[in-house]
Amino acid sequence: MPATILDGNKIAAEIRAEAAAAVRSMSAAGIAPGLAVVLVGNNPASEIYVRGKVKSCEEVGIYSEKHTPPESVTTEDLLALVEDLNRRDEIDGILVQLPLPRQVDSKKVLLAVDPAKDVDGFHPMNVGFLSTQRPGLVPCTPAGIMEMLERSGIPVAGQEAVVVGRSDIVGKPMAMLLLNANATVTVCHSKTRDLAGVCRRADILVAAIGRAGLVTEHFVRPGATVVDVGMNRVTDAEEFARLFRGNLKREEMFRTKGSVLVGDVHPEVAEIAGAITPVPGGVGPLTIAMLMSNTVKAAKMRRGSIGAVA
């Protein structure tokens, strides 16, 4: 029996609606949450992401502004911009869109963001809060995945969870959130021996390694919940055939556009998993929805009205 599809668009809409309701009640008290996005240069993928974030702000009622320094920007210029945004009281969240140009010290810039305004949850102080279960801002993608599991009625406590990928943005915070929710967690990476064997133990398998269709049916225990964080564009005809041979809809799309999007999980996994996130329409929409939620949370925490919000 094919897997239950975990609809990220539907859950993201619920989260945005909750954020919009919170913004309305804050507005009644004279508080308007504000988000500043810093987008350097002309990276087309980054521009699409930022457009989506600004549009979401409009829908939810969050004030937003976009800062677009040139590709030639220096580390010092960006540090000065971040410092200015840190000082401005009407800005509750600061998001520096990655990647930054090669000449910029990205770590230095991210470290300069006020932890109370770090809506990406990347600052070491927020990482520390997460690992010690204190109130703070949590990275949007892993936080969105936890919301999806909870709202889909998928139990986490006592379950065996495997996270494939150890990035600071997804893999590590995902493992920490699952651990905090009382799962037994294994983190896998490029040096893991018998990756498929380790993954097959999982009740919940999170694939966040950035390799198209790496996780095949041999990696998945029948009935497991599979969360696909990957977003890979496939342009090679041979690679496309390995993933989508016989899928007429995708074949037509590949012929027309010359590329298709695929996650880190091979489409065949949908035949044996208990539940699975699609690509696109799974984890992606949740990331932006949680950014809205984090901006509202930052506004409330900065103004002392909460310790943290769910």
Give the largest Cα separation in the chain, rounded. Answer: 58
Angle at 174 between CA 261 and CA 220, to 5 degrees: 60
Q: Is 55 left (phi over 0), alpha (psi -120 to 50) or beta?
A: alpha
Residue type, 22: A
Q: Which of 53, 117, 297, 300 is catalytic?
A: 53
Q: Please tell me the total number of residues recorded for the chain in this structure.
A: 310
Annotated catalytic residue: which of 92, 114, 120, 228? Answer: 120
Q: How far apart are CA 142 and CA 69, in angstroms?
A: 29
| Peptide linkage before 280 cis (omega within 30 of 0) | yes
Active site residue 120: yes
- Residue 274: other Cβ atoms inside 10 A: 17
Q: Which of 92, 97, 114, 203 is catalytic?
A: 97
Cβ atoms 206, 225 nearer than 8 A? no
d(CA 147, CA 293): 11
Q: For Cα atoms 196, 197, 199, give the angle at the middle one, nearest 5 degrees.
A: 65
| Residues 216 and 222 sit within 8 Å (Cβ to Cβ) | no
Phi, psi (rounded to 5 degrees) for 136: -170, -175
User: At how many degrees (to 10) do helices 171-180 and 124-131 cross?
Assistant: 30
- Answer yes or no: 97 catalytic: yes
What distance in Å separates the CA atoms of residue 285 and residue 4, rounded to the nearest whole number?
18
Q: Please give the Cα distance from 36 to 16 (Å, whole number).
A: 18
Catalytic residues: 53, 97, 120
